[in-house]
Structure 1
Amino acid sequence: MARMHTRRRGSSGSDHPVADEPPEWSDVDAEDVEERVVELAEQGHDPSQIGLKLRDEGVKGTPVPDVKLATDKKVTEILEENDAAPELPEDLRNLFERAIRLREHMEENAQDAQNKRALQNTESKIRRLVNYYRGDALDEDFTYSYDAAKRLLD
């Protein structure tokens, strides 16, 4: 499949090995994993960072290679059940932050054509994601603007 804003295809990412249950060496209780996920979320970590911390640090010293295999729930599902879910989806939040950074750069460097293009591409991706999340994570009447993104992140 081609990239969104280039004519190149790019290399495919790695695939997870097919597994129906967690490995034998990672025998962590599902409740302990859920408690640790909520604890990390309260410390201000994003869902992807929580997965990395569980993989690297683990729960009570035992690494958790895949939260979904250990608990039968995704990290975001665990956060939603415990009312610790972030206000904005992580992918949309990251794009908002990038667009704000690029817009501030463009205010100082109006002649920077490459970053002008990067800002256009980023805002295009944001508009697509806003259409996807409208009604669920965002209001029905939400439309993207620099000021709206700034307001949501503050």
Structure 2
Amino acid sequence: MARVYSKGHGKSGSALPYVRRPASWQKKTTEDIVSIITGLAKKGMMPSKIGAVLRDQFAIGLINHYTGTRVTRILRAAGVAPEIPEDLYFLIKRAVQMRKHLERNPRDISTKYHLILVESRIYRISRYYKSTKKVPATFRYQAKNAAALLASFA
């Protein structure tokens, strides 16, 4: 599938391991992993960061092989999941940073153009998340309220 705002088709990607069970040398149980995940989430880490920490510090490659579920589902069951999805959060954060930059540099045409692209992506992904009920139906991105929106979800 082609990218929306570029010419590339993005053929590269990682391949999942063939064996779909935990490594034989790994001694962590499902309960240990779930407690680590919820502990990291309570410290304020996002799900992708939690996965990177588990991979780098605890040698747990795919959480799904150990627990049977994903990190966000574990967080949702524990009641510590982020209120809006991570990709939408970071798109809004990027748009806020771009607006701050444009306040200081109002003639930066390239940033103006890319802000339009980022905000259109925000509108598209928020429409999808409303239809799948991952954000409330009343969620609405507005540029003037975006910084306050980030503060409330952080």
TM over 0.5: yes
Report the alpha carbon displacement of residue 8 of structure 1 after superposing the two structures with TM: 2.5
TM-score (norm 1): 0.90
RMSD after superposition: 1.4
Report the alpha carbon displacement of residue 44 of structure 1 after superposing the two structures with TM: 0.7
Report the alpha carbon displacement of residue 11 of structure 1 after superposing the two structures with TM: 4.2
Give structure 2 stretches of 5+ with no counterpart.
none
Matches within 5 A, 1:55-134: 55-58=55-58, 63-134=59-130
Percent identical: 37
User: In 1, distance between residues paired with 2:40 and 2:78?
Assistant: 12
Structure 1 residue identity aligned to 2:43: Q
User: In 2, distance between residues paired with 1:115 and 1:28?
Assistant: 47
For 1:144, the equivalent position in structure 2 comes to 141
For 1:21, the equivalent position in structure 2 comes to 21
User: In 2, distance between residues paired with 1:68 and 1:133?
Assistant: 23
Structure 1 residue identity aligned to 2:17: P
Give structure 1 stretches of 5+ with no counterpart.
none
For 1:30, the equivalent position in structure 2 comes to 30
Report the alpha carbon displacement of residue 76 of structure 1 after superposing the two structures with TM: 0.4
| Structure ranking higher in helix proportion | 2
User: In 1, distance between residues paired with 2:26 and 2:146?
Assistant: 41
Q: Describe the shift of the 1:117–1:19 C-alpha distance in structure 2 as closer, same or farther (beyond 3 A).
A: farther
Report the alpha carbon displacement of residue 25 of structure 1 after superposing the two structures with TM: 2.0
User: In 1, distance between residues paired with 2:53 and 2:114?
Assistant: 31
Aligned pair count?
150
Report the alpha carbon displacement of residue 14 of structure 1 after superposing the two structures with TM: 1.6
For 2:54, the equivalent position in structure 1 comes to 54
TM-score (norm 2): 0.90
User: In 1, distance between residues paired with 2:145 and 2:76?
Assistant: 24
User: In 1, distance between residues paired with 2:75 and 2:138?
Assistant: 26
Report the alpha carbon displacement of residue 149 of structure 1 after superposing the two structures with TM: 2.3
